[in-house]
Amino acid sequence: MDRKTDDDVLDAVGPRLCALRRDRGITLAGLAATTGVSESTLSRVYDVPLDDLVGAPRTGDPRIHLKPIRRFGMTFVPLSRRPGGVHAFKMIISARPEPLEPAPQTHEGFEWLYVLTGRLRLVTGERDLTLPPGDTAEFDTSLPHWLGSADGGAVELLILFGLQGVRAHVRTDPHRSDEAGGLR
Give pLDDT tens digits for 79-122. Answer: 887 767 788 889 999 888 877 788 899 988 889 999 999 999 99
- Judged against a pLDDT cut of 80, whether residue 160 lies above it is answered with yes
pTM of the model: 0.56
Over residues 66-79, the mean pLDDT reads: 83
Domain borders along the chain are 6-53, 69-162
Query: DSSP labels for the chain?
Result: -----HHHHHHHHHHHHHHHHHHTT--HHHHHHHH---GGGHHHHTT--HHHHTTPPP-S--------EEETTEEEEE----SSSEEEEEEEE---SSPPPP--B--SSEEEEEEEES-EEEEETTEEEEE-TT-EEEEETTS-EEEEESSSS-EEEEEEEETT-PPP-----TT--GGGT---
Kindly indicate the confidence band of residue 173, based on its pLDDT and cuts at 50, 70 and 90: low
- Judged against a pLDDT cut of 60, whether residue 148 lies above it is answered with yes
Highest mean pLDDT among 51-60, 75-84, 152-161: 152-161
Q: How far is CA 110 from the centre of its chain?
A: 16
pLDDT at residue 163, as a whole number: 73
Highest mean pLDDT among 61-70, 128-137, 167-176: 128-137
Architecture category of domain 69-162 in CATH: Sandwich (2.60)
pLDDT at residue 157, as a whole number: 95
